[in-house]
Amino acid sequence: MIEELYTPQQVELRERARHLAETVMRPVAAKYDVEQTYPWEVQHAIRDAGLSGVWIPEEYGGMGAGVLDLCLVVEEFSRACGGMGVGFAVNALGSFPILVAGTEEQKMRWLPPIASGEKLIAFGLSEKEAGSDVGSMQTRAERDGDEYVINGEKKWNTNGSVASFNTVFAVTNPERGARGISAFVVEDGNPGYRVGKHEDKMGIRAVPVVEIHLENCRVPAADLLGETEGQGFKQAMITLDRARPGVASQAVGLAQGALDLAIEYTREREQFGQSVSSFQGVQWMLADMTTQIEAARQLVHAAARTIDSGRKNISKISAMCKLMATDVAMKVTTDCVQLFGGYGYCKDYPIEKYMRDAKITQIYEGTNQIQRLVIARSLLRETAGGS
């Protein structure tokens, strides 16, 4: 990390996040990877360190920092544990729709408890048959007096079993396709809201990913996000544009964490009477990895700065940073396992967990195939007319 590119406050924030990651997360990362239960002690430590609402404006109880600061924190957390990194970042994903589209009353109601760490929020977009193709979702929300009645199932709901709020997208007008989708914030304790299957995952096992069943789930009409129906698809896309640098930072953190371990191991490990790190072939691998990580980090931070600047067209750079950083994470963590040799393939060392945790970053918040689609569409639009 090139410190000169960051304000003293950002350097201090990153140090604070790193301290928490090293003292609270790393010691229990392996335990939660095995148990696949939710690390409440970690959540409470994040809350007590005042880091819960980094991205939430001060008027709603947050730190008032932007996407770049969020990325700095997510990277440090993920360097110690990828699951704990996303368990934190998904609160930004769930709350961005409120920030982007919520009325003042809705922001005042939902954001302060998220900012203080008292409550968590999830993001209910995907369904069994509607992953990449969000517009084909089937969950329905029908108006009934001053309520909506929601019926359907949400899939891949990260933190869904522990979050108090869930930003749920549903079709309010089936005639209008993507323009007939609306978003609602559903609160836990609603009798029509039920947590279903818990996924048994390859990686990020410290964070729950569940199915959510909405069965005649009645929500007040006032919990429709924004003023009018039909804005949900765009709200989801704008949200993903803002949130993808968070996944990219998770990937950078995982790659950096794996490289840290590989440097330490190759220094200590001796073969042919010398340290493995003294072989030029190994040094070139280390050089390639640190170069790829720094390049990814800088693209992520450029995307975050662009978003924080308030610029409107952010889809391309956001997708580019997610694509690049997550591909780097997969390559670097795989190469780090290689540097550990046979030991890297066994659970005696923490390195294999980095490789397992990295894989999902190429898949969620839009597969990297979808990122390429978003990038290409933007590129062709920008260059139409031969500029």
Annotated catalytic residue, options 153, 187, 229, 365: 365
Q: Minimum distance from CB of 1 to ligand CAA (Å)? A: 25
Give residue 137's identity as a one-letter amino acid code: M
Task: Specify whether the CB–CB gap between 136 and 129 falls below 8 A.
Answer: yes
Using CB under 6 A as the binding rule, whether residue 184 contacts ligand CAA is answered as no
Selected binder of ligand CAA within 70, 238, 254, 328 (CB under 6 A): 238
Q: Burial letters for 237-263: b for 16+ Cβ neighbours within 10 Å, e otherwise?
A: ebbbbbbbbbbbbbbbbbbbbbbebbb
Q: Which lies closer to ligand CAA via its Cβ, residue 242 or residue 353?
A: 242
Using CB under 6 A as the binding rule, whether residue 178 contacts ligand CAA is answered as yes
Q: Among the candidate windows 60-68, 119-127, 217-225, 299-307, which touches ligand CAA by CB under 6 A? A: 119-127
For ligand CAA, how many residues bind (rule: CB under 6 A)?
A: 24
Annotation marks residue 365 as catalytic: yes
CA distance 13 to 15: 5
Using CB under 6 A as the binding rule, whether residue 361 contacts ligand CAA is answered as no
Q: Minimum distance from CB of 131 to ligand CAA (Å)? A: 7
- Residue 294's SS3 state is helix
Using CB under 6 A as the binding rule, whether residue 125 contacts ligand CAA is answered as yes
Q: Which lies closer to ligand CAA via its Cβ, residue 289 or residue 325?
A: 325
- Residue 129's SS3 state is coil
Selected binder of ligand CAA within 60, 88, 123, 165 (CB under 6 A): 123
Q: Which lies closer to ligand CAA via its Cβ, residue 182 or residue 277?
A: 182
DSSP string, 21-72: IIIIIHHHHHHHHHH----HHHHHHHHHTT-TTTTS-GGGTS----HHHHHH
Q: Which lies closer to ligand CAA via its Cβ, residue 158 or residue 292?
A: 158
Residue nearest to ligand CAA (CB): 366
Report the site for ligand CAA in 214-233 (rule: CB under 6 A): 233
CA distance 373 to 386: 20
Identify any residues that bridge with 144 across adjacent strands, giving them in sequence order.
147
Task: Specify whether the CB–CB gap between 183 and 224 falls below 8 A.
Answer: yes
Run of H or E residues at 167: strand 165-171
Using CB under 6 A as the binding rule, whether residue 241 contacts ligand CAA is answered as yes
Q: Exposure of 7 by Cβ count < 10 A (0-12 exposed, 13-18 middle, 19+ buried)?
A: exposed
Written as six digits, the tokens of 313 are 């067209």
Q: Minimum distance from CB of 355 to ligand CAA (Å)? A: 19
CA distance 239 to 23: 32
Using CB under 6 A as the binding rule, whether residue 11 contacts ligand CAA is answered as no
Selected binder of ligand CAA within 16, 47, 140, 179 (CB under 6 A): 179
Using CB under 6 A as the binding rule, whether residue 370 contacts ligand CAA is answered as yes
Task: Specify whether the CB–CB gap between 190 and 219 falls below 8 A.
Answer: yes
Q: Minimum distance from CB of 232 to ligand CAA (Å)? A: 10
Using CB under 6 A as the binding rule, whether residue 195 contacts ligand CAA is answered as no
Identify any residues that bridge with 168 across adjacent strands, giving them in sequence order.
124, 184
Identify any residues that bridge with 121 across adjacent strands, giving them in sequence order.
165
Indicate the DSSP class of residue 127.
B
Q: Among the candidate windows 31-39, 70-78, 128-136, 277-285, which touches ligand CAA by CB under 6 A? A: 128-136
Region of 77 please: left (phi>0), alpha (psi -120 to 50) or beta. Answer: alpha
Using CB under 6 A as the binding rule, whether residue 90 contacts ligand CAA is answered as yes
Q: Which lies closer to ligand CAA via its Cβ, residue 195 or residue 263?
A: 195
Written as six digits, the tokens of 150 are 């929601």
Using CB under 6 A as the binding rule, whether residue 237 contacts ligand CAA is answered as yes
Selected binder of ligand CAA within 52, 78, 95, 158 (CB under 6 A): 158
| N-to-C CA span, the chain | 35
Identify any residues that bridge with 316 across adjacent strands, giving them in sequence order.
none
Using CB under 6 A as the binding rule, whether residue 182 contacts ligand CAA is answered as no
Q: Which lies closer to ligand CAA via its Cβ, residue 148 or residue 364?
A: 364
Q: Minimum distance from CB of 73 to ligand CAA (Å)? A: 17
* Residues designated as active site: 365
- Residues that bind ligand CAA in the complex, under the rule CB under 6 A: 90, 123, 125-126, 132, 134-135, 156, 158, 178-179, 233-234, 237-238, 240-241, 315, 364-366, 370, 373-374
